Amino acid sequence: MRPTLARINCSNLKYNYLNIRKKVKNSRIMAVVKADAYGHGMIKCVEALNSLGSRQPDYYAVSILEEAVELRKSKVASQPVLVFDPVGYEEAEYFKEYDIIPTVFEEAHLGYLRRIPSKGGKLKVHVKIDTGMGRVGVRFDEAYNFIKKIHDSREFIIDGIYTHFATSDESDKSYAFLQLSRFNDIIERLKSDRINYGLAHASNSGAILDMPETYLDMTRPGIVLYGYYPSLETSESVRLKPVMSVVTKVTNVNLIDKGQSVSYGRRFIAQGKTEIASVPVGYADGYVRALSNKIFAIIKGKLCPQVGQICMDRIMFDITGLKVKANDEVILLGKKNKLKIDAWDWSRALNTIPYEITCGISKRVPRIYM
């Protein structure tokens, strides 16, 4: 078997979750497990979180219907499951069949759901409100009338209303607070007119860390569940541990002379006699080509620079003087004693965020749950 694998530390996942629950106090939690739990493996992560008994998440959220159906078929979660993407014409029947909550924000979405025969009971929906993200949702200045129309129709149960912040992970939270004000205005008007809107939720990872005013009825932790702060501008008010580490082994060691090169394009030229470790990982695994000559691995207790162009299936490291041999461990993401490499190290090299790093570890890297 190929030695490259991603270790998923379920104890760290539960540690992060319990610290989040302590932070948000009495607010319910909708654990976001979209994109295969940000690359960590949705089913196993839900299974781990649900092992917490009375402290387990109150809801789960995914991005697309297929993820929700997979979660329902696995039978690891009986909690309500919300799909963030709006319901489509050909998808409507599956929401009823699998007891999944759709997101609605247009009359068309309600029409798709009405055409499916009722199976004894009203269908629960969550209404997405665009308070300034500018992506999807009913406009905040039109939201009250839309919600009231659903309420008055008595065909659906409004189980929740929600919005999403555009800047909660930035140091300047003024726009996020403007969005919150718009959302709160809608809530207060609905309360005043005794319109039941279910659970109001708005707080994503950045807001959980820095905006307790946003907790409302329910919070939606995403990247923080998996051990990363959403940006370098948020506080670290919740203690977190990375859940994923990526490890592999050296396959062989080559000795090259001064002036010799490594890999495609000769992007690395040896300045003297150099020992090169060859490792069976590449951009097909999520170790993207743009990391070439910019990143390190932990080998023999040392940070060793990656050298040469990253290939589809292979990368190389300078291990000169370390007496490295075949089958020695290589830590690509993770820690060893006081040394660590995390998704922020890759993110800085790529000018991106940890979300993209963990989601990008491909399916051909087996997940091992610990």
Say yes or no: 255 and 205 in one domain. Answer: no
**Is residue 17, in this structure, part of any structural domain at all?**
yes
* Secondary structure of residue 178 in the 3-state scheme: helix
| Domain end position, chosen among 226, 260, 293 | 226
Strands 315-318, 81-86: pairing kind: unpaired
Say yes or no: 248 and 222 in one domain. Answer: no
Say yes or no: 350 and 252 in one domain. Answer: yes
CATH of the domain at 351: 2.40.37.10
Say yes or no: 175 and 98 in one domain. Answer: yes
| Alpha-carbon gap, residue 61 to 290, rounded angstroms | 32
Residue type, 86: P
Catalytic residue among 122, 149, 258, 264: 264
**Is residue 284, in this structure, part of any structural domain at all?**
yes
Q: Please, what's the largest Cα pairwise distance for the chain?
A: 80
Say yes or no: 23 and 64 in one domain. Answer: yes
| 87 against 116, higher pLDDT | 87
Q: pLDDT band for position 74 (50/70/90)?
A: very high
**Is residue 4, in this structure, part of any structural domain at all?**
no
- The 10s digit of each residue's pLDDT in 49-66 is 999 999 999 999 999 999
- Would you say 307 and 315 are in contact if contact means Cβ atoms under 8 Å apart? no
- Would you say 34 and 67 are in contact if contact means Cβ atoms under 8 Å apart? yes
Catalytic residue among 14, 23, 34, 124: 34
Say yes or no: 191 and 266 in one domain. Answer: no
211-229: burial string, b at 16+ Cβ within 10 Å, e else? beebbbbbbbbbbbbbbbb
Q: Provide the angle, in degrees to the nearest 10, between the axes of the packed helices 42-50 and 65-74.
A: 50
Tokens of 177: 């607070």
Say yes or no: 153 and 36 in one domain. Answer: yes
| Domain end position, chosen among 161, 196, 226 | 226
Say yes or no: 207 and 278 in one domain. Answer: no
pLDDT of residue 121: 74
Percent of the chain with pLDDT over 90: 95
pLDDT of residue 119: 63
User: Which of 161, 20, 179 shows the shortest CA–CA distance to 82?
Assistant: 161
| Alpha-carbon gap, residue 140 to 185, rounded angstroms | 9
Q: Is the pLDDT of residue 235 over 80?
A: yes
**Is residue 237, in this structure, part of any structural domain at all?**
no
264 catalytically annotated:
yes
Say yes or no: 336 and 205 in one domain. Answer: no
| Domain end position, chosen among 200, 226, 252 | 226
| Alpha-carbon gap, residue 281 to 154, rounded angstroms | 55
Q: pLDDT band for position 179 (50/70/90)?
A: very high
Q: Is the pLDDT of residue 35 over 80?
A: yes
For the whole model, what pTM was predicted?
0.95
CATH of the domain at 138: 3.20.20.10
**Is residue 3, in this structure, part of any structural domain at all?**
no
In the chain, count H helices and then E strands: 11, 21
pLDDT of residue 120: 62
**Is residue 361, in this structure, part of any structural domain at all?**
yes
Say yes or no: 198 and 119 in one domain. Answer: yes
User: Which of 351, 210, 246, 349 shows the shortest CA–CA distance to 291?
Assistant: 349
What does pLDDT average to over the chain? 96
| 153 against 39, higher pLDDT | 39
228 catalytically annotated:
no
Name the helix (H) or strand (E) containing 76: none
Residue listed under structure tokens 């993200």: 133
Give the structural domain span for 352: 244-369
pLDDT of residue 346: 98
Say yes or no: 217 and 319 in one domain. Answer: no
Q: Is the pLDDT of residue 116 over 90?
A: no
**Is residue 140, in this structure, part of any structural domain at all?**
yes
Let me know if 306 is exposed, middle or buried by CB neighbors in 10 A (0-12, 13-18, 19+): buried
CA angle 78, 83, 89 (to 5 degrees): 120
- Would you say 48 and 40 are in contact if contact means Cβ atoms under 8 Å apart? no
Number of structural domains found in the chain: 2
**Is residue 86, in this structure, part of any structural domain at all?**
yes
Q: Is the pLDDT of residue 118 over 90?
A: no
pLDDT of residue 182: 98
Say yes or no: 97 and 185 in one domain. Answer: yes
